[in-house]
Structure 1
């Protein structure tokens, strides 16, 4: 059987909603929505669309993640205090081992692709 192209069309993925975990919260009560579109056969590559409203929380990455901001803005701060503002149209990677925080300003929506060893 030949592999088929999988299009990521909003409204056709597996939806998960909920708050950021209490133990990670630094500010606000952000709610997240993930629309998951694909997991590979090895169960180590995932992609979809993620969004959240305003808030700030701790990050600790065991995976590599590619992000493309569809709409909105966020501030990502590393463990050394270096801040990066990301906004609509920005594409970036967060490598495995990254420690820091994510702060959603207003609301943000992104495409994500995650690879885990």
Structure 2
């Protein structure tokens, strides 16, 4: 295994998923995930979602960087931030809220459980 990996989804089939129907708020979002690293509780890759909204509950720590599209993240208190290309964020364990994809969104991520 090389000691460096470029995150490139070309020619690699993604894992396809949808939000749990019990958490779905609107739309029919389709998630495509290219997980390039999966070891010792560390995950790293690319994630894409089509338009929709669903409830989220984080038990893990996540860093992400928005590459394309536009989404919103609303916390349990109703505070909303808009996520645009170039934005980087950290979500800490315990975050509860709503992820809304306004325009199909691509992000890279690092998750630690």
Q: Which residue matches 2:24?
A: 25
How far 1:14 sits from its partner (Å)?
6.0
Count of residues in correspondence between the two structures: 113
Which protein shows a greater Rg?
1
Mark the runs of 5 or more structure 1 residues left unpaired by the alignment: none
Q: Which residue matches 2:109?
A: 112
Q: Which residue matches 1:15?
A: 14
Is contact 1:14–1:36 with CA below 8 Å preserved after alignment? no
Is contact 1:24–1:58 with CA below 8 Å preserved after alignment? yes
Write the deviation string for residues 75-106 of structure 1: whole angstroms up to 9, x where unpaired.
10000000000100100111111000100002
Please state if 1:62 is matched with 2:54.
no
Partner SS for 2:51: strand
Is contact 1:61–1:99 with CA below 8 Å preserved after alignment? yes
Please state if 1:53 is matched with 2:50.
yes
CA distance in 2, matches of 1:104, 1:110: 12
Distance 1:13 1:39, change over 3 A: farther
Mark the runs of 5 or more structure 2 residues left unpaired by the alignment: none
CA distance in 2, matches of 1:107, 1:29: 12
Q: TM-score, normalised by structure 1?
A: 0.90
Distance 1:37 1:12, change over 3 A: farther
CA distance in 2, matches of 1:14, 1:97: 31
Bigger shift: residues 16-25 or 60-69: 16-25
